[in-house]
Amino acid sequence: MIDDYAASFYGQIRAVLSSAVKRDLGEVGVWTIAKFLEDCREEFGHDKKLIVIVEPEQFGLREDDSPYLKHHQVEAGLALFRDTIESGRLRFGKQ
């Protein structure tokens, strides 16, 4: 069930960010969602079995003052998403 929610949230986040970009509010949308996720990590923790934290400041921007995320963060998320799809854990509403 959790994997289904994660997949759904991905779609919703993409739609929200797409809409924000069209309104010239892309950075605000990204910051708002990033802040929400950080608050969730502080409240609920972070399952290191899913995404291993290799550095204290893993979740953030690159140090070259660019607006891009750290490579490991993106690669870890993509690997987890691929693993979820390939494992067949997505139930797509199956009971």
What are 36-90's pLDDT values in tens digits? 988 998 899 878 777 665 555 555 555 666 555 656 667 777 888 888 888 877 7
pLDDT confidence of residue 77: 79
How far from 20 is each of 62, 66, 67, CA to CA, in Å?
22, 20, 16
Given a cut of 80, whether residue 93 has pLDDT beyond it is no
Residue 55 CA neighbour count, 13 Å, CB half? 11
pLDDT confidence of residue 2: 82
In angstroms, how far apart are the furthest CA atoms of the chain? 47
- 18-51 confidence digits (pLDDT tens): 999 999 999 899 889 988 988 998 899 878 777 6
Given a cut of 80, whether residue 4 has pLDDT beyond it is yes
Name the helix (H) or strand (E) containing 21: helix 2-22
Domain map (residue ranges) of the chain: 1-44, 46-88
pLDDT confidence of residue 52: 64
